Amino acid sequence: MDDDVARILLHREQIQARVRTLAAEIAAGYAHHERGLTIVPILAGSIIFLADLIRELPMKMKIAVVQLSTYPGRSVTAGEPRILMELAGDVRDRHVLIVDDILDTGRTLRHVQEMIRRREPASLQTAVFLRKPGKAPPDLRVDFVGFDIEDLFVVGYGLDFGDLYRNYPHIGVLRAELMP
Ligand code: IMP
Ligand code: MG
């Protein structure tokens, strides 16, 4: 995988440190919610971030996964997200935190936020590991952001290209020749 990456944008040590401070921000925000949270991770991109983040969160939580597909195998967004797996678990009257890998155009998150709002949670917030600048509509709310990055296609730490590189431990930019 190293050979396929042109440059590392975020090193694993940087990532670990930020996930810890981000978890502290999230924990502080939910300190008064005694019934705990329902985390809604968006598969599959969020899995590594999810695993690191929730082990730094001290409160009780349930996990209710959803799976969507926006651009299967390609690096440009094509149309509306498609639901591959419905929300597994009840979020009604629960404090819900959506967890996703990256906010790009915001289509994925808007879709999931609307789906959850219809189910009447007690509250709804969103945490993303990465955010690209300027492409998401200004009214799309994310409450917690790990890193703001340049508008580049990145892989690793859960993010894929053609379903590969999710296990790459850093956030890297793929070599241009590998992109379509
Ligand atoms: P959005 O719906 O355009 O905000 O895109 C969000 C989804 O697209 C993310 O959950 C990722 O799965 C994928 N995505 C967006 N940008 C990248 C990238 O740079 N690398 C890998 N996946 C990406
Ligand atoms: Mg993805």
pLDDT value at residue 116: 95
Strand partners, 148: 131
Give the pLDDT of the chain (180 residues) as one tens digit per residue: 889 999 999 999 999 999 999 999 999 999 887 777 999 999 999 999 999 999 999 999 999 999 987 655 454 555 678 777 777 778 999 999 999 999 999 999 999 999 999 999 999 999 999 999 888 898 999 999 999 999 999 999 999 999 999 999 999 999 988 887
Domain made up of 13-149: CATH architecture: 3-Layer(aba) Sandwich (3.40)
pLDDT for position 89: 78
Residue 103 Cα: closest atom of ligand 1: 4
104 classed as catalytic: yes
The one catalytic residue among 52, 104, 139, 148: 104
Q: Which of 85, 29, 30 is nearest to 61 (CA)?
A: 30
What pLDDT, on a 0 to 100 scale, did the predictor assign at position 64? 95
pTM of the model: 0.92
pLDDT value at position 90? Answer: 84
Domain edges within the chain: 13-149
- Measured from the CA of 159, which atom of ligand 1 is nearest? 21
Nearest CA to ligand 1 atom 5: 104
CA–CA distances in Å: residue 25 to residues 30, 81, 129, 140: 9, 29, 13, 20
pLDDT attached to residue 80? 74
Distance of alpha carbon 50 from alpha carbon 68, whole angstroms? 16
Q: What whole-number distance in Å separates Cα of residue 44 and Cα of residue 158?
A: 7
Per-residue confidence (pLDDT) for residue 72, from 0 to 100: 52
Measured from the Cβ of residue 120, the count of other Cβ atoms closer than 10 Å reads: 11
Structure tokens at 69: 């597909």
Q: How is residue 114 written in tokens?
A: 């609307």
Other Cβ atoms within 10 Å of 113 Cβ, number = 20
